[in-house]
């Protein structure tokens, strides 16, 4: 099993370009697995972890409801935002500057073959990172992602998640609000969940800005421990 993971920080990059890049890495891993099985080979499969920030964009998962986007695509254009229907699970999500988006493209045969466990460990990575800042992140039953003040009238989401998997290879991932302009969430019903708010790390800490690289390093440290991974 290859537990080495290659890290790439793509900076600020267009959503569609990044999606296409994810797909190319995803298909490369699938191709190796199919060839190994067909030809009786044992060629190792690579693992990747992409960090990126996107310009303002809304994405709708394959099981999502378009009515959760509360404005027209023309209005989105006025706000400088784009919209895509995509092939991950989950409903509608916003990505934008000041948000850490992470796309682990892993062959889970290298780690464990359990999608539920995979999602729970991604959530735990965020929860542990929030704890580093003195915040109590939590899971909300039946709602993938990480929240604050679950079970109260003040429940609010700080990290959304949605993944795709085929033959135990993953793509898509998480969107962690760090210094995010939360007004963009007003244009949708986040993840299709009504009556709950969203928040960001800088808002919760009462800071104008939290260093993004600092947060990324904490995420990577916790990912390494949780997945028993090493960096390529």
What are the tens digits of pLDDT across the range 139-166?
999 888 999 999 999 999 999 998 999 9
- 91 annotated binding-site participant: yes
Closest C-alpha to 110, from 48, 50, 52? 48
Judged by DSSP in three states, 83 sits in strand
Indicate if 159 belongs to the active site: no
The pLDDT of residue 178 is 98
Band the pLDDT of 136: cuts 50, 70, 90: very high
- 18 annotated binding-site participant: no
Question: What does the domain layout of the chain look like in residue ranges?
Answer: 4-231
**Options 5, 127, 191, 229, the catalytic residue:** 191
CATH number of 4-231: 3.30.930.10
C-alpha of 163 from chain center: 8
Q: Which of 17-26, 79-88, 189-198 has the lowest mean pLDDT?
A: 189-198
Task: Please give the average per-residue pLDDT across 183-203, as a whole number.
Answer: 80
Take residue 168 and report the two structure tokens written for it.
Answer: 């135990």
- 31 annotated binding-site participant: no
């Amino acid at each position: 099993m290859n537990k080495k993971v290659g890290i790439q920080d793509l900076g600020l990059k267009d959503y569609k370009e990044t999606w296409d890049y994810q797909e190319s890495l995803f298909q490369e891993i699938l191709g190796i697995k199919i060839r190994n099985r067909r030809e009786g080979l044992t060629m190792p499969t690579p693992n990747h972890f992409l960090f990126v920030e996107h310009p303002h964009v809304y994405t709708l998962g394959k099981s999502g409801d378009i009515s959760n986007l509360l404005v027209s695509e023309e209005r989105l254009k006025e706000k400088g935002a784009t919209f895509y229907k995509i092939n991950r699970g989950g409903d509608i999500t916003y990505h934008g500057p000041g948000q850490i988006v992470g796309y682990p493209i892993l062959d889970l045969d290298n780690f464990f073959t359990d999608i539920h466990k995979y999602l729970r460990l991604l959530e735990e990575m965020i929860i542990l990172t929030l704890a580093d800042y003195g915040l109590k992140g939590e899971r909300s039953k039946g709602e993938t992602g990480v929240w604050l003040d679950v079970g109260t009238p003040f429940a609010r989401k700080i990290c959304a998640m949605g993944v795709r998997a085929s033959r135990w290879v993953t793509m898509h991932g998480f969107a962690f609000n760090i210094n995010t302009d939360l007004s963009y969430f007003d244009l949708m019903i986040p993840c299709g969940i009504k009556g709950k708010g969203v928040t960001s790390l800088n808002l919760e800490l009462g800071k104008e800005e939290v260093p993004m690289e600092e947060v990324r390093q904490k995420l990577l440290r916790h990912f390494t421990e949780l997945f028993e991974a090493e960096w390529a």
